[in-house]
Each structure stands twice: as C-alpha cells, then as structure tokens.
Amino acid sequence: MKIIDGKAHHYVKFLVYGCQMNVSDAERMAGQLAAIGYERLSDDAAMDEADLLIINTCAVRETAEDKVYGKIGEIKGLKRKHPQLIFGITGCMAQKESDSLIKRAPHIDFVLGTSKVHELTKVVQEIEQERGHIVDTDLTETELPDGGPIARQGKLSAWIPIMYGCNNFCTYCIVPYVRGRERSRRPEDVVKEVEQAVAQGYKEVTLLGQNVNSYGKDHKLATFAELLKMVDKVEGIKRVRFMTSHPKDLSDEVIDAIAEGEHLCEHIHLPVQYGSNHLLKAMNRVYTVESYKELVQKIRARIPQASLTTDLIVGFPGETEDDFAQMLDFLKEIRYDSAYTFIYSKRSGTPAATMENQVDDAVKKERLNALMAVQNQISLEINQSLLDSVMEVMVEGPSKNDETVWTGHTRTNKIVLFDHQDEQPGDFINVKITHPQTWVLKGIRV
C-alpha cells in the first residue's frame, strides 16, 4: 500500500502461467479488483510491491506445476516479512489440487477454482476483514457472469473468450477435468465485447476457446462460422484471429468464412498432436491421419495464402520407432509454418497416466530434438519462399534487443522485424521481406 495525496492505494500483482485463456482470466480478475481499489502492477514489478499476490496457474504440464510450487515456496519468506500480504492461487492447478495446496503451504490465503473467479472480490474482502483460509473449487457448469469489468494489459490486441470448458477428453489432457464441460457465451455478448475493445483502441482481437469450432453447439444461437461473420462486421475492427481449433470440428463453413472475410486472418492453428493413426486413437483424438490431410487440402485449396501451425507431442505411452517415423513423414508432407512441440507429461487423473509402455525420458528427448530439426528446416524453407514478397504488418513497437528495430505481425501471424522510421504502434505498413529466417522475417518498409 502507498499513500498518495492522502489516499491509500492498493496494488495487486499477477503471476500468470499457461495458455492465453489464463491471460484473459487474469485481465478479468484485475477488472474486478480495480472496482474495490486494487491497481494492477506491471509484470516486471517486484512481488514485495504488492498488497495482493495471485498466481493464476496451469496444470497441463508437470513443468508448469513445478514452477508454481517453486514460486509458492519463494513467497513463504515474503509473507513472513509482510504478514498483511494476501496470497491466492487461481486457475487450473487450483481446481485440480484444491485444499491440498493450503495443507502443503499454509501461507496461501485462498484457492479459487476455474468457475469461481467471478467471486474474487468477495473473497479478497472477506480475507481483508477476518483473515483465514478460503477454498472454493466446486466445478459448476452454469453460465459464468458476463459483462464484468476487464483490465486489459495490451494496447493493440485483445483476448476475447467465446466459450469455456472442453468436451473432448483426450487421454493425455487434464483440461476437461479442471475447466468443466463446454459453455458457449451468447453471440451478442461476444460481439459487444469486441465492439468495446475496438472503442478502446484495440486493432485486433483473438477469439479464445479450448475448441472454438464447437462454439454454439450447446445454446445453438450461432455456429462458429456465423460468429466469425458477426465479428468480421464490427465497425473499426482490423484483424480477427482465433484459437484453438480441434480438427474434428473444423467445418467447410468456417473455412469459407475465413476465405471470404475482410478482417479474418489467414492463419489457422490446427493441433494434430501426432502423425500416426495408432497414437491418434490412443490419444482419443477422434480423427485419422487421412481425414486430417483431407482437411488441410481443403484449407489450402480455399485459402492458398493461409499459414498453418500445430501442436505436436512426442513420447506418448506406446510410441514406437515406427510411429515416430510416420510422424516425421507426416510432418514433411504437411509442411507446417511452425509447430509447438512438447514432450508427453503424465497428468494424474488422465487415462494416459496409467497406460503401459511409458517411453523412457532419454528417448523422448532424442525424438523431440529430431522432430524439431525437421520442423525448423521446413519453417526456414517456407519463410525463404517469402523473399522479396511484400506483406502487411501491424506495427507493435521496438524489438526486445534493439530500439531502432521494430516488430509486428503479418495477417498470417509471422513476426517481421524492420528499421524504425516514423511508424507508431497500431499502424499498418507494407514491408518487403529481404532476410527470411527460421522464426522471423526481416524487411524494409515500402
């Protein structure tokens, strides 16, 4: 707390782990807290500046949980120095571990599950007055309150959740157990939030969901394709993105909407996870290598300029040398622009955690390195094909390493670096690509 002009100012710091949905959840929590006098500290602010400290957690991989436990231990000393500090855990790990977190670390004041974040202000106020522990991780599948305040962090791009939860139950994934069943927001509420973001100066929105392609299957008020068209028509919007798409639900109507839309970006993140039918079945992905390839052919025929990215898991239980060889062949055939690659991580409570034929860690690492080497070469070759092309870039600001070199993204979600002239964040400029590299494109303004 600081006293400024005779008034007490309270500060909250968020430590956010995991996916974009967690980033969005933190923005909504910050909006709630602002209403009771808490100002959000920047990501690089020291933890001891905060009156309220919240870790918004991820439970998808063991490494994310390990980082959280390490940070919880670090905060124990901070609480000893500042006993009035309120410390809470939210997000997927909070949902999964519940009151066991406080049993393990009694300096935690509250644990709130994924469907309870709208009660954050009430919980904080109770702890301010009475001190003690609060745990609420009942996983309700009712519609979450809409229209609450949002304290967005960025200035150009806004995260807009369109649905919560997941119905797919992939055998490796904890998400359905910690986020609940799918609940789609009403289309008018999504459109209203996009309109508000545009009015606040945001140029780009990303529509978020565990599987955006199944949006609306619950309330049947609009399909995902129809929602995309509604958002595309919002006056003043410049770019519309979305993630993540499950291949089993990506319809021809969605592909057509992107092809015909004015502001819908030509980038589809389409997680395949693996390139052999044996492992796709073991993962319960509900599609085959063949059907996935057909879907990619449809996308590329209808949207030739589209970039395609994916998620890949190596070391899933039962993965054989033959499976991995099929994976590499699949990768060379599909030719993704880029891929997020992961080593399989056991998640207690999921079917895959108890499967036989768990893969040795050394083999996992070896296969991951081989996979990345193939993908990096493909990414480089695709980017090299863009040499001398001119691409529209949304200017974002200085790069991390050199203030004279600025950065931005293309509609196809590629990072472009260019020498700064008079551009300002939010400008749209044309850049000629002169030095394509594996992960970035370098160019000059034209």
| Exposure string for 418-441, b = 16+ CB within 10 A, e = fewer | bebeebeebeebebebeebeeeeb
Question: Distance between CA atoms of 66 and 55, rounded to whole angstroms?
Answer: 13
Using a 10 angstrom Cβ sphere, with 0-12 exposed, 13-18 middle and 19 or more buried, the burial of residue 284 is middle
Distance linking the first and last C-alpha atoms of the chain: 50
Q: Give the three-class secondary structure for 237.
A: coil
Structure tokens belonging to residue 205: 């929105």
Q: Give the three-class secondary structure for 417.
A: strand
Q: How far is CA 208 from CA 159, 162, 243, in A?
A: 7, 6, 5
Identify each DSSP E strand in 246-389 by its residue range: 267-269, 307-314, 338-343
SS3 content of the chain, % helix, strand, coil (to 5): 35, 25, 40
Q: Give the three-class secondary structure for 345.
A: coil
Asked whether residue 265 is marked as a ligand-binding residue, the answer is no
Asked whether residue 170 is marked as a ligand-binding residue, the answer is yes
Q: How far is CA 128 from CA 15, 116, 133, in A?
A: 21, 19, 11
Structure tokens belonging to residue 361: 């860690």
Of 281, 282, 231, 236, the closest CA to residue 257 belongs to: 231
Residue numbering of the annotated binding site: 19, 58, 92, 166, 170, 173
Q: Which residues are annotated as a binding site for [4Fe-4S] cluster?
A: 19, 58, 92, 166, 170, 173
